[in-house]
Amino acid sequence: MSFGLKNRLSKIIKPQTGKTVMLAVDHGYFQGPTTGLRDIKSAITPLIPYTDCLFITRGILRTCVDPSIDASICLRVSGGPSILGELSNEDITTSMEEALRLNASGVGMSIFVGAQNEDRTIANLGKLVNEAQRYGMPVLAITAVGKEMARDARYLGLACRIAAEMGADFVKTYYCDEFYKVVEGCPVPIVMAGGKKIPERDALQMTFNAIKEGASGVDMGRNIFQSDNPVGMINAIRAIVHDGATVDEAYDLYESSKSQPIEVG
Ligand code: R5P
């Protein structure tokens, strides 16, 4: 691994804890103005100070994010279909040159294992890694799940392992029963996506379980920005990921910050 790649990766997965709290706000690239991100600038600005890395598209980065933020950037570089089309019909949409110009610390794309275009998306991952390697740019592979696929350890383990074999530097996947088996079979760090909005305590429990079973952090969206207390929620997630908090401790943080707003340090 080159100095540049290691240096960039250290801006995402923090060396102090070996973990990361990434905030995923890329949903609009196929869903349009998702609930919680309609006014995306207002939604994400208060969360950025608590985020290690923003997972975002170039369009939202350019128009809605202050360039002086401390959080690093992992740029979504794949896209194509909308929610109305065949989701696996993705290609690379953003160049490596653009990622470098935007000072990204990583680039991310989805692979659709088991879906109509799985072969093209997996081959595209290989091509993205080929190019990223030339510039020391870490690649995040996202194991997108088709509507008919089971989110179990067998399927997610298959997708994560394929991503690692293609050369991804880290992988984003969903939590499942026996998540440790997915981690065991994947030789690169795994970050957990949150999935659909669930009650806050359940999302904290899921995060706790994922970390206990070997996840290197989260790349979470809806369970943060669709919460009734997004800043409290991201802080509670941080407490679990970076500080080893229990679910009760993290939930108290989320609850107590409703009455005592957390100050930006
Ligand atoms: C899918 O739209 C993206 O890859 C999201 O970044 C990913 O699903 C994480 O967001 P959430 O926690 O909302 O699932």
**What stretch of H or E contains 174?**
strand 170-174
In the prediction, which pLDDT does 265 show?
Answer: 47
> Cα of 156 to ligand 1 centre, how many Å?
15
Find out whether the beta carbon of 195 lies less than 6 Å from any atom of ligand 1.
Answer: yes
- Identify the bridge partners of residue 190 per DSSP, sorted by sequence position: 171
Give the orientation angle of helix 200-212 with respect to helix 230-243, to 10 degrees: 20
Mean pLDDT of all residues in 31-55: 97
User: Tokens 């609009």 label which residue?
Assistant: 28
User: What integer is the mean pLDDT of 244-258?
Assistant: 96
User: Which pLDDT value is given to residue 259?
Assistant: 78
Q: Which whole number is the average pLDDT over 65-87?
A: 97
CA distance 175 to 161: 15
Give me the mean pLDDT over the 144-151 stretch.
79
Q: Domain coordinates of the chain in residue numbers?
A: 3-259
The answer to whether the pTM exceeds 0.85 is: yes
Q: How far apart are CA 17 and CA 101, in angstroms?
A: 29
User: Is the CB of 222 inside a 6 Å radius of any atom of ligand 1?
Assistant: yes
Please tell me the predicted confidence (pLDDT) of residue 263: 59
100 Cα–ligand 1 center, Å: 23
233 lines ligand 1 (CB under 6 A): no
**Ligand 1 pocket member 218 (CB < 6 A):** no
Instruction: Report how far ligand 1's centroid is from the alpha carbon of 246 (Å).
Output: 24
Contacts of 100 (CB under 8 A, 6+ apart): 135, 137
Q: Which CATH architecture has domain 3-259?
A: Alpha-Beta Barrel (3.20)
Mutational pocket test of ligand 1: of 21, 26, 31, 241, the residue with most ligand atoms within 8 Å of the beta carbon: 26
Ligand 1 atom closest to 26 (CA): 6
Residues 184-188: contacts with CB within 8 Å, 24+ apart? Answer: 184/214, 185/157, 185/160, 185/161, 186/157, 186/160, 186/161, 188/163, 188/164
| Mean pLDDT for the stretch of residues 79-103 | 96
User: Ligand 1: which of 47, 142, 227 to mutate, judged by most atoms within 8 Å of the beta carbon?
Assistant: 142
DSSP code of residue 185: T
Task: Give nearest CA residue, ligand 1 atom 14.
Answer: 195
Indicate which residue's Cα is closest to atom 9 of ligand 1: 193
Amino acid at 74: C
- pLDDT category at 56 given cuts 50, 70, 90 is very high
How many residues does the structure list for the chain?
Answer: 265
Active site residues: 172
Judge whether residue 74 has pLDDT over 50: yes
Average pLDDT, the chain: 96
